[in-house]
């Protein structure tokens, strides 16, 4: 099968060897006659903006988990699959678990200033409710890791469909769930339905002292509402890895805010060594008439 690779120039050096190692018969190219390709491995920072000439392409395999920057391209009519990489899922689970433990244990409360602070003992993990907004591949991996530590985990999804090992509620029940969410992890995709989902009214529903951890999408939280909510302790602290504008501008009020921790979009990354196998297998399925995994629903946007 002949595959066109369209992503950043720097990523070619990393991905080409991994993709060829995943399938020695793969014919991988950075350019060529559009009509000659069977599939495209794609990222929005690649060079393709018009997919119309790729008349024989049976699948466009995204290298990114999020596809909001791809589905808006009206020339893209071919089947589109988002990337679900086990390495990315593990990385996201580790990020969320690490920050959850920091919030749970109050690790920031021990200034190294010679003061003996032993008046507050944190509860056990079993007494600290965690809510995960979004129980797709990343949310399920995060829930499994947190549950193994002992946290009671509630998931929230658009449909509320059951997931093994997680108490799942629908978005219609979000308000009720927020009232007991001592740690809230945001992993929903960016869609018209999720933008500014956590507005001033919903943030005010959180328990006093709650933490918000957002490695999902920067559009999920109303920035101004978050800054206002932090003044009242709802939430008490926000860990933010994603933003409406990236890199986050140097003059943005999030920088230096005492109740905000900024991380530079490093929660999880697609790793070529594991994701290449996923991409090649999915393209092979498309070529052989088998169901494609993680096919994007254009109406939903993910």
| Measured distance CA(53)–CA(63) in Å, rounded | 21
Catalytic site includes residue 29: no
Among 58, 217, 234, 237, the active-site one is: 217
| Measured distance CA(130)–CA(229) in Å, rounded | 19
Catalytic site includes residue 117: no
- Cβ atoms of residues 1 and 39 within 8 Å: yes
Q: Can you list the alpha helix ranges (DSSP code H) found in the chain?
A: 9-22, 86-105, 137-149, 174-178, 200-203, 223-232, 272-287
| Measured distance CA(83)–CA(270) in Å, rounded | 8
**Residue 226, token pair as written in the block:** 């978050």
| Measured distance CA(67)–CA(300) in Å, rounded | 11
Backbone angles phi, psi at 168, to 5 degrees: -105, 135
- Cβ atoms of residues 177 and 198 within 8 Å: no
Beta bridge partners of 185: 132, 213
| Measured distance CA(295)–CA(42) in Å, rounded | 14
Backbone angles phi, psi at 92, to 5 degrees: -65, -40
First-residue to last-residue Cα distance in the chain: 26
Among 265, 271, 285, 293, the active-site one is: 265
Catalytic annotation, residues? 217, 265
């Amino acid at each position: 099968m002949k595959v066109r690779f369209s992503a950043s120039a720097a990523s070619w050096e990393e991905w080409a060897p991994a993709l060829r190692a995943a399938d020695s018969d793969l014919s991988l190219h950075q350019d060529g006659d559009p009509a000659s390709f069977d599939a495209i491995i794609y990222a929005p920072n690649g060079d393709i903006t018009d997919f119309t000439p790729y008349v024989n392409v049976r699948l466009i395999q995204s290298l990114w988990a999020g596809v909001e920057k791809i589905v808006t391209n009206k020339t893209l009519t071919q089947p589109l699959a988002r990337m679900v990489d086990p390495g990315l899922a593990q990385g996201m689970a580790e990020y969320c678990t690490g920050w959850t433990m920091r919030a749970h244990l109050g690790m920031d409360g021990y200034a190294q200033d010679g003061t003996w602070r032993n008046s507050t003992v944190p509860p056990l993990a079993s007494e600290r409710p965690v809510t995960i907004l979004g129980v797709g591949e990343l949310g399920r991996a995060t829930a499994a890791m947190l549950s193994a530590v002992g946290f009671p985990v509630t998931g929230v999804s658009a449909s509320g469909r059951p997931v093994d090992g997680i108490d799942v509620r629908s978005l219609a029940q979000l308000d009720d769930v927020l009232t007991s969410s001592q740690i809230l992890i945001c992993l929903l995709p960016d869609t018209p339905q999720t933008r500014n989902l956590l507005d001033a009214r919903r943030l005010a529903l959180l328990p006093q002292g709650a933490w918000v951890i957002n490695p999902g999408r920067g559009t999920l939280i109303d920035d101004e509402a978050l800054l206002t909510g932090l003044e009242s302790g709802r939430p008490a602290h926000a860990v933010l890895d994603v933003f409406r504008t990236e890199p986050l501008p140097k003059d943005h009020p999030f920088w230096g805010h005492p109740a905000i921790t900024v991380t530079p979009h490093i929660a999880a990354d697609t790793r070529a060594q594991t994701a290449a196998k996923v991409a090649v297998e999915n393209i092979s399925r498309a070529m052989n008439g088998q169901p494609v995994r993680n096919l994007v629903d254009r109406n939903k946007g993910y």
